[in-house]
Structure 1
Amino acid sequence: MNAPLPTARQAKELAKRLRMKLADDGTEIGHGASLEMIAHQHGFRDWNTMSAALAGGPSHDWPIGAKVSGTYLSQPFTATVMSRTTVRADWVRLELHLDEAIDVVASSRFSNFRRRIFGVVGPKGHSEERTSDGQPQLQLNLLP
């Protein structure tokens, strides 16, 4: 499992320690450059982007074994997180094992039941991909 993003204060402390370590090794850099390096290490384009993401509050960690509820192709479900891979900052690919199979086909002519779902979700718990009615294909919430 990947470590969660640091807070803004922790990121600044990481940048300070990085700058001090580089100085000990004979490379002098400014604090701004060290902040940029920390942002890049966490998958962000620059410090301003990381700082803005951190200001939005913590995102879900989606730990393996966590119970979640949500909708997939507008069908409600509950599931367990089986695997998690970071795709980019705050976006993860999840494998979910559903408690009960759901039919992911809207047609009355045939069915396609699934017990496993793979999807990429962002910091708000939904996918970028949308259904024809504009809803995210996958929406998740952590259960207590």
Structure 2
Amino acid sequence: MKPALPSLAEAKARARDWRRQQADAGTPVTHSAALEHVAHALGFRDWNACAAMLGRQRAQRLALGARVAGRYLSQPFTARIIRATPAAGRPGWVRLELDLDQPVDVVTSTRFSNLRRRISGVIGPDGHSRERTSDGQPHLVIDPLAPDGDS
């Protein structure tokens, strides 16, 4: 049985750790050399191939029909994925379209509401979007899934 590949974020963390170890041992290496080292250790020809595979791996875990939980504009939700595609030119990033189990109100005003039943966004290897609300929270956060795939 093949060992499971790490996530893209875990692979990058391994590269940072290895680079730090090398520097502590008196052999500084570049960031790109550390990424290449991790890619070779995982059995890939180079970092680009490794990053592409790890990005596809994430997209496959977040596949059509999968159930997820998370927060959209700080509102908790559970949902089913109705579209998941790797984001072009951004290894490890996934474009998602979600059908929410219950609508979320994306307005903080008490005077009116704006309920959303479907949302879309792009999340990175760490599970959240690059876009932020005015208080610094990511627009979209996908929480890790339970081992059995339930949210």
TM-score range, shorter chain: 0.5 to 0.7
| Structure 1 residues not aligned, in runs of 5+ | 16-34, 44-49
| Structure 2 residues not aligned, in runs of 5+ | 1-6, 9-37
Counterpart among 97, 103, 106 of residue 104 in structure 1: 106
Aligned to 1:10: 43
CA drift of 1:41 comes to: 8.8
Aligned to 1:32: none
CA drift of 1:10 comes to: 3.1
The answer to whether 1:82 aligns with 2:82 is: yes
Aligned to 1:72: 72
Give the AA of the match of 1:65: G
Give the AA of the match of 1:72: Y
Q: Give the Cα–Cα distance (whole angstroms) in 2 for the partners of residues 103 and 64 of structure 1.
A: 24
* Residues matched between the structures, number: 105
* Structure with greater strand percent: 1
Three-state SS of the structure 1 residue aligned to 2:43 is helix
Aligned to 1:93: 95
Aligned to 2:126: 124
Residue range with higher mean Cα deviation, 109-118 or 58-67: 58-67
Three-state SS of the structure 2 residue aligned to 1:81 is strand
The two structures, once aligned, show a CA RMSD in angstroms of 3.0
Question: TM-score if structure 2 supplies the norm length?
Answer: 0.60
Three-state SS of the structure 2 residue aligned to 1:10 is coil
Q: Give the Cα–Cα distance (whole angstroms) in 1 for the partners of residues 51 and 69 of structure 2.
A: 28
Q: Give the Cα–Cα distance (whole angstroms) in 1 for the partners of residues 114 and 139 of structure 2.
A: 16
CA drift of 1:131 comes to: 0.9
Structure 1 vs Structure 2: percent identity of aligned residues? Answer: 53
